[in-house]
Amino acid sequence: MARPRNGPAWGSVVAGAASVVALPLAIYPSRFSERYELLHAGFVIPIAALLGLAAIMLARRARRRIVVALGRGGGDGLARTGRVLGIVGVCMAAAALVALGVYGLLEYVGSRD
């Protein structure tokens, strides 16, 4: 008998991977474009954070489903992977937000001269 698929576990992995990849994909084109600057990539920060939080919530739902099924639901490793990717994505978004804040502060202090 085949194990049932755990949809939230797969969803957490997909959302977590998307949250980790979102910022680098937004930053990379700024190296080659005259019109698209690094500062424009800051608009992706909330998207990456939301995807990371979605991955964490989906992983929690998947783990709950596994517990209810007494461990027979499958997807435990996927749920853990999705949770880790979600946490990494949220941490990357937080670091990018701090970097953007420091940049704004330095721009403000530099413009006062």
Q: Does 2 reside within a domain?
A: no
How is residue 103 written in tokens? 């940049």
DSSP 5: P
What confidence tens digit (pLDDT) does each residue in 27-47 have?
999 889 889 888 899 999 999
Dihedral of the alpha carbons of 18, 24, 26, 28, in degrees to the nearest 10? -140
Domain presence at residue 45: yes
d(C-alpha 6, C-alpha 18), whole Å:
19
Domain that holds residue 56: 8-111
- Report if residue 15 sits inside a domain: yes
Into how many domains does the chain fold?
1
94 CB-contact burial (10 Å; exposed 0-12 / middle 13-18 / buried 19+): middle
| pLDDT tens figures, 61-103 | 999 988 887 777 778 899 999 999 999 999 999 999 999 999 9
